[in-house]
Structure 1
Amino acid sequence: MGNWLVGESSAGPSGGSFGEPSAGPSWRSSDGLSGGWPDLHAVPAYRLKDFIHAKLKPSEECLKRIDQDVDAISDFLWSSELPVRGVAKGGSYGRETVLRGYSDGTLVLFMGGFRSFRDQKENQRGLLSVIEQRLKHHKKYSMSVSLGHTLEVLLSVHGQKILLQILPAFDPLCFGEDSSSRIYRDLKSTMDKVRAAPGEFAACFTTLQQRFFQRYPRRVKELVLLVKHWYQECQEKRMTSPSRRFSYALELLTVYAWEQGCQNEDFDMAEGVRTVLGLIKQSSELCVYWIVNYGFDDVTVRNTLLCQLRSQRPIILDPTDPTNNVGKDGSWELLTEAAQAWLDSPSLNDMSPAQCWNVLPTSLFITPSHLLDTFIKDFLQPNEKFLKQIRKAVNIICEFLKNNCFKDSSTKVLKAVKGGSTAKGTALKNGSDADIVVFLSPLKSYDSQNKERAMFVQEIQRQLEVFRKTQELEVKFEISEWTAPRVLSFTLKSRSLNESVDFDVLPAYDALGQLHPGFTSRPKAYKDLIALCKSSGIKGGEFSTCFTELQCKFIILRPTKLKNLIRLVKHWYKQCERKMKPKASLPPKYALELLTVYAWEQGSGMEKFDTAEGFRTVLDLVIKYQQLCIFWTVNYNFEDEPIRTFLLTQIQKKRPVILDPADPTGDVGGGDRWCWHLLAKEANEWLSSLCFELQSGDSWQRVQPWKVPVVQTPGSCGAHIYPTVGI
């Protein structure tokens, strides 16, 4: 058994409101950073994992002894004729984020005499006095100290110290039942009546807090230890004791960073650190919350949550208590300076570019409608420097493909066309990628492209391997799983570039020839494609790369604000994808891009429009996916056979139907090929988002979608054809 000693007094609200551990002593474990380890700022990025295991994690034996001693206190109180109905372990100890040397813990006693939050408020002090007297009659625990609403004892086991708070509390979970809206309604009602401080009843939800942290992998908790240790070092340099409440805020911020940006159990520790430090630098914009225990469905809980989310930032809500913003208190400005210093340190900045996860400091879901344009500008729209870097990287590869790749062979590069979101002007700030379609002279038909492109992919890779040895380039190839690869995927790095760029190079047949100004239709190219698809059973859209120029032109000429709306929809799509992956196969992003263009064309058509209305309309179309039949006649139409017959067949297919405006065989709606129903479910849940709330005086109204038809017909596109039944 360990020794129980007197703990220091609580630091008051700044050190943690009721239910939060006191600040505790500022001393550290006796071994400190000895044993050959440098100061944290000097630890190389690749050694961070070793540092955690060597210096930050308590030994398994220590943790086992601590468990035994905490259980001993719990057993003693259970046997002291007290109305204890259950216990829960909280603080760093309960969350399994104990730092070696000194840490905090909580032992919550759920009392049978507390039938409500109000009971706890009115009777807690008296019951605490009884518990204190019980402890003082036991020689081992006689040094416990009463601190108003808590008792504190300091547990010491082989150099590991835990300041344990003992908290009598009401159990709103009915001894194991899940949380519900009723519980949080009661919480809000009681807090209003007794004028309780935010988070005053946080201890009541210790069981939920424990469950919340149990969901996360061991490596995430190791990252938490690293961030907490860094915070303690920062406080020590300022001769200030760490706030346990703020330490908890940093734990949640670390979990948020991993959840939003990684979700892999095996990740690079340095990337995680850089991500958390980057979020700390954006503290004035931080709005972090979870809806795993409470949400927006119940009116009272929704209003409580919205009140918090609309308050001044930084906001980091306790995932078990919507009244408890643990990010409100803390020296964020001073910590921001320290975060920048560590980010700039040679040890953490040991590679170029220094990788981190793509995590925004706030959620789109709680961004008010009038701030959507600002959200796009601040978080989604690439800056000019970024775009110049992309263009430079694309030009390097294009020049190589045109002038070097096939210079010693009879193969000629007819043209290299830039495609994808970068070329269309709809790229997101993070996750840069670029498509380059290279049209080769030996590929003289769709059939030859289908049979020979794998050979050219392999040749381009071989030539790139030679090319990179003569240039200041770092190229990392992604090996294709296909025996006959259709695309060469690789990452390009350059000493002159601050970021890496992911490329897809796709060999293709030049079906359209050299496009001339004024040409908007190529009937022969489409007739040949339709004939091949009918005769060979090749999937529709297989040769969409041949029409890359038309795909880009379809978007490039659109207003800038529409391209920004596309960025917003793509960001929303990525949030849905992260949430579901790898559970479902979602529709391609290109389908959402086309749906956005269609919503704007049919609903607004103006260069200036309300972004919230446009976003709301796109989600409305997603929800109505089972009715969608959308196509354009800008590059093909109903005038020529067999295109007319083929199009009529296409638009009678199972909905949703969304035809690629550059390729009539490409139905990116796909019928039941993709899980539209899951995307529609997400879209329906997003209708309660703040994105679609509009303030009108003292009240709030819901943003309404534009009136957009869900079905296109030949007649609506100006074709003089009687629609077939079912169209």
Structure 2
Amino acid sequence: MGNGESQLSSVPAQKLGWFIQEYLKPYEECQTLIDEMVNTICDVLQEPEQFPLVQGVAIGGSYGRKTVLRGNSDGTLVLFFSDLKQFQDQKRSQRDILDKTGDKLKFCLFTKWMENNFEIQKSLDGFTIQVFTKNQRISFEVLAAFNALSLNDNPSPWIYRELKRSLDKTNASPGEFAVCFTELQQKFFDNRPGKLKDLILLIKHWHQQCQKKIKNLPSLSPYALELLTVYAWEQGCRKDDFDIAEGVRTVLKLIKCQEQLCVYWMVNYNFEDETIRNILLHQLQSARPVILDPVDPTNNVSGDKICWQWLKKEAQTWLTSPNLDNELPAPSWNVLPAPLFTTPGHLLDKFIKEFLQPNKCFLEQIDSAVNIICTFLKENCFRQSTAKIQIVRGGSTAKGTALKTGSDADLVVFHNSLKSYTSQKNERHKIVKEIHEQLKAFWREKEEELEVSFEPPKWKAPRVLSFSLKSKVLNESVSFDVLPAFNALGQLSSGSTPSPEVYAGLIDLYKSSDLPGGEFSTCFTVLQRNFIRSRPTKLKDLIRLVKHWYKECERKLKPKGSLPPKYALELLTIYAWEQGSGVPDFDTAEGFRTVLELVTQYQQLCIFWKVNYNFEDETVRKFLLSQLQKTRPVILDPAEPTGDVGGGDRWCWHLLAKEAKEWLSSPCFKDGTGNPIPPWKVPTMQTPGSCGARIHPIVNEMFSSRSHRILNNNSKRNF
């Protein structure tokens, strides 16, 4: 009947899965027998001749969530009585009706079973049912409840408004009526992968060991730890198959951050309804830890804070045990203890520093990995040929906008065999193939020091080689994109701009072919990098914040449509700062709000820069004017004019705009006293004349008129 007496800290990380199967999961034959008995009990309770007042039965607790530990575990049977017609009816004592139900149920079950497989015991509030086999016992608390959901699987906002009204009217405790939503709790766990439930069993068993070790430890609901484990998996993994030790380390690290812990879901309720929004904002701004029940926004299940303090110490002990900390690094998922949405505006800089800014160690890791690959490319990759190469580092790490939670690096390889844009398009796949083959050979020579894993190419003639690198000198795996390109800029001196001929040739090729805009943006990586790298540190931090927001939206919205590229949001952030602030030190919340306001006005956006190209050359001027009159949004890449990362109708800006609008109610945009933080005043649309271009007034007026006409058409189309 035991749950395995072995101390978890003595179990090697690679054997945790085995430990769960051997000691924690119920025996299959026991589970089958228990299931049969529970089904029989539920069937009997729903016989109208015997129990005419019972409208339905919901199964909750660990049993209902399918997170039962071997040995002794818990469950709830929620009986929906027809005479409970609203939430506040549950405040009436149900003792009498539950007593009668228990007595009648005991009689009915004895007529079906003659074996001693169950016990019914009276309790202060009603009765419990013990269902057991030789090696398993489940104790079900039987509860009476109002059937709030009736036949609806998805609760309406009205239900939660009524819940709040009933709590206020009866002075009930927050979460007191959560039992009404037991079916939703079960549904929340139903579609989770089996391995995630295995991880939940391990965390619950660890919690039980902590309780045995620490006398008089205040109790913490296992449900809180179950939800925390689901949150860790959703935010950091989302795979059916994963490394159990990584999941354990992630959950333990979150427990260590319990002073910052704020966990919630938007699966059954959200911020759209005013009453629910006010409930949520109140909950999310309360003292941490906060773990909201995904079925009841009034129910913070985090429990006693003293218990969390003890668990924090125990988490550190297990985290640093030789068996769990058995490799360098000991990997875990990248999961923040609190979402950005709940962070007040005056704490955004602190949020960036603690959760988004890469530390010195991270940056050194990236540099070490880049040096390994650059040395390989220069000294090993092309030694069999006369090829000459130059390497330019791009991506977020080169721009100074990398996030703490992602190790990636872009390397653009200027190969001297690529002598034009056309040759880049036609020949780069051969260079990608050669680098791939040489890197595999190099890896075989260095397999004791390096580990390389390649991503399968997306195209038949791939334009990029993607792989990850792990080394004894690196604490984590680093992802690489290596991109062969034509060196269109040549030996461009620092601080100078390209000649118009560089862009004229690109524009002619673009206009005479069906190539997408931005096809050759890799040729201008240096300009893209320098455009952002030279910006003030705080602006780059704001870009990090916007990118983090974008990643949160992407996780939610990706199944619904193709979002605009992240680069578009980076450029939009720079534009917001240039037009609205322009100073190195500014209010981060004001800047963040401005960017989101601009996203909501995507149908009006027309943004460009004149740092690398302008209106002076005739070919470039005509092309720019045509680009700027395209369907909004238009956001031109400041490094090369064919790249419109706004994209008009190409991407689902409306999805991102809807998210941005919801976020405007976030605490991010309230100051320390709760007052709203205003955005900067930033125009959504630029015209050549507004940017100082020397263009005939009639042309500029025609441009403005057409821009307004496009805006009106956009509005009608999206109405």
TM-score scaled by structure 2? 0.91
Note if 1:61 corresponds to 2:22.
Answer: no
**Higher alpha-carbon deviation: 360-369 or 140-149:** 140-149
State the 1:461 CA deviation.
2.4
Post-superposition Cα deviations, 1:304-332, rounded to whole Å, max 9, x if no partner, equal 22222111111111112222211122622
Separation in 1 of the partners of 2:515 and 2:182? Answer: 58
Residue 671 of structure 2: SS of its match in structure 1?
Answer: strand
Do 1:41 and 1:345's aligned partners in 2 also have CA atoms closer than 8 Å? yes
What does residue 440 of structure 1 align with? 415
Q: Secondary structure at the match of 2:175?
A: coil
Corresponding residue number in structure 1 for 2:198: 222
- 1:369 aligned partner: 345
Question: What is the CA distance between 1:295 and its match in structure 2?
Answer: 2.6
Shift of the 298–674 alpha-carbon distance from structure 1 to 2, 3 Å rule, reads closer
* Cα separation, 2, equivalents of 1:452 and 1:162: 67
Matched, 1:715 2:715: no
Matched with 2:85 is 115
The one of 221, 224, 232 equivalent to 1:249 is: 224
Change (3 A) 1:273 1:336: same
**Aligned pair count?**
690
C-alpha separation in 2, matches of 1:123 and 1:617: 54
User: Which residue of the other structure, out of 118, 124, 130, is the alignment partner of 2:94?
Assistant: 124
Equivalent residue runs for 1:75-154 within 5 Å: 75-78=43-46, 79-81=49-51, 83-134=53-104, 140=110, 144-154=120-130
d(CA) in 1 for partners of 2:91 and 2:141? 18
Counterpart for residue 231 of structure 1: 207
Rounded to whole Å, the distance in 2 between the matches of 1:719 and 1:480 is 43
Cα distance between partner residues in 1 of 2:35 and 2:152: 21
Kindly report which structure 2 residues correspond to 1:567-586, keeping only aligned pairs within 5 A, or say none.
567-586=544-563
**What is the rounded CA distance, in whole Å, between the counterparts of 1:269 and 1:150 in structure 2?**
40
Q: How has the CA–CA distance of structure 1 residues 149 and 302 changed in structure 2, closer, same or farther, with 3 Å as cutoff? A: farther
Equivalent pair of 1:561/1:608 in contact (CA under 8 Å):
yes
Which residue in the other structure is 2:566 paired with?
A: 589
Tell me what 2:632 maps to: 655
Q: Is the 8 A contact 2:252 2:319 kept in 1?
A: yes
CA distance in 2, matches of 1:170, 1:560: 56
Q: Does 1:202 align with 2:183?
A: no
Task: Indicate which of 692, 699, 702 corresponds to 2:676.
Answer: 702
Query: Corresponding residue for 1:6?
Result: none
Whether 1:211 and 2:187 are equivalent positions in the alignment is: yes
Name the residue aligned to 2:330: 354
Match in the other structure for 2:479: 502
Which residue of 309, 325, 339 maps to 2:300? 325
Amino acid at match of 1:371: L
1:467 aligns with 2:442: yes
Is 1:677 matched up with 2:654?
A: yes
- Which of 495-504 and 547-556 deviates more? 495-504
Residues 658 and 670 in structure 1, CA contact (< 8 A), matched pair in contact too: yes
- Partners of 2:136 and 2:160 in 1: CA distance: 37
Deviation per CA, 1:102-136: give whole Å up to 9, x if none.
11010111112222232211232343343355457
Whether the aligned pair in 2 keeps the contact of 1:246 and 1:329 (CA below 8 Å) is: no
Cα distance, 1:352 vs. partner? 3.5
Larger mean CA deviation between 265-274 and 677-686 belongs to: 265-274
Is contact 1:437-1:506 (8 Å) kept? yes
Residue aligned with 2:636, SS: strand
Paired residue for 1:21? none
Corresponding position of 2:430 = 455
SS of the aligned residue for 1:660 comes to coil
Query: How far does residue 233 in structure 1 lie from its aligned partner after superposition?
Result: 2.6
Residue 626 (structure 1) aligned with residue 603 (structure 2): yes
SS of 2:93's partner is helix
Partner of 1:11: none
Query: Closer, same or farther in 2 for the Cα pair 1:539/1:133, shift >3 Å?
Result: closer
User: What's the counterpart of residue 710 of structure 2?
Assistant: none
Cα 1:369/1:407, change in 2 over 3 Å: same
Q: Matched residues in 2 for 1:132 and 1:410: separation?
A: 88
Q: How is 1:255-266 mapped onto 2 (pairs within 5 angstroms)?
A: 255-266=230-241
**Counterpart Cα distance in 2 of 1:31 and 1:642:** 77
SS of the equivalent of 2:249 reads helix
> Which amino acid counterpart does residue 586 of structure 2 have in structure 1?
F
Residues 566, 593 of structure 1: 8 Å contact kept: yes
Deviations 1:317-368 (A, max 9, x none): 1112222211122622222233233333344344443332221111111111
SS in 2 for 1:503: strand
Q: Distance in 2 between matches of 1:456 and 1:174?
A: 63
- Contact (CA 8 Å) 2:564, 2:652: kept in 1 or not? yes
1:228-254 CA-partner distances (Å, limit 9, x unpaired): 1222233233366894x5211010011
How far is 1:419 from its partner? 0.6
* Structure 1 stretch displaced more, 516-525 or 372-381: 516-525
Instruction: Verify the 8 A CA contact 2:3 2:69 in the aligned structure 1.
Output: no
User: Kindly tell me: are residues 484 and 350 of structure 1, through their superposed partners in 2, closer, same or farther at Cα, counting changes over 3 Å?
Assistant: farther
CA contact (8 A) 1:353 1:500 kept: no
* Conserved 8 A contact 1:491-1:503: yes
The correspondence for 1:383, drawn from 349, 353, 359, is 359
| RMSD between aligned residues | 2.4
How many Å apart are 1:498 and its aligned residue? 0.9
Q: Contact 1:86–1:175 (CA<8 Å) still a contact in 2?
A: no
What's the offset of the Cα at 1:175? Answer: 4.9
Any conservation in 1 of the 2:633–2:646 contact (CA below 8 Å)?
A: yes
The aligned residue for residue 7 of structure 1 is none
Q: How many Å separate the matches in 2 of 1:178 and 1:636?
A: 54
Please list the CA deviations of residues 582-640 of structure 1 after superposition, one character each: whole Å capped at 9, or x if unmatched. Answer: 44211111111011111111111111222122111111221221221111110000101
Q: Distance in 2 between matches of 1:668 and 1:525?
A: 20
SS at structure 2 position matched to 1:404: helix
Contact 1:521–1:634, Cα closer than 8 Å, also in 2: no
The answer (yes or no) to whether the contact 2:3–2:70 under 8 Å persists in 1 is no
Distance 1:641 1:712, change over 3 A: same
Look up the equivalent residue of 2:9 and give its one-letter code. H
Please tell me the residue identity of whatever aligns with 2:372: I
Q: Any residues of structure 2 matched to 1:156-167 within 5 Å, and which?
A: 156-167=132-143
Q: Distance in 2 between matches of 1:421 and 1:577?
A: 18
Match for residue 246 of structure 2 among 247, 258, 271: 271
Counterpart amino acid of residue 68 in structure 2: V
Q: Give the structure 2 partner of residue 32 of structure 1.
A: 4
Identity of aligned residues (%): 61
The secondary structure found in structure 2 opposite 1:70 is helix
CA contact (8 A) 1:272 1:357 kept: yes
Any unmatched runs of 5+ in structure 1? Answer: 1-28
What's the secondary structure of 2:453's corresponding residue? Answer: strand
Distance 1:460-1:139 versus aligned 2 partners, 3 A rule: closer
CA distance in 1, matches of 2:271, 2:102: 41
Structure 2 counterpart of 1:119, one-letter code: D
Alpha-carbon separation, structure 2, partners of 1:299 and 1:474: 52
| CA-to-aligned-CA distance 1:513-538 (integer Å, 9 cap, x gap) | 12213412321211121122223332
Partners of 1:313 and 1:328 within 8 A in 2: no
SS for the counterpart of 2:35 is: helix
CA distance in 1, matches of 2:438, 2:215: 59
Cα deviation 1:61-112 (Å, max 9, x = unaligned): 3233223323444455455456222211110111111112111010111112
User: Where do residues 3-42 of structure 1 align in structure 2 (5 Å cutoff)?
Assistant: 29-30=1-2, 32=4, 39-42=7-10
SS in structure 1 opposite 2:551?
Answer: helix
Quote the Cα distance in structure 1 between the aligned partners of 2:153 and 2:661.
28
Q: Are 2:504 and 1:536 equivalent residues in the alignment?
A: no
**Does the Cα contact within 8 Å between 2:13 and 2:245 map onto a contact in 1?**
yes
Does residue 405 (structure 1) correspond to residue 381 (structure 2)? The answer is: yes
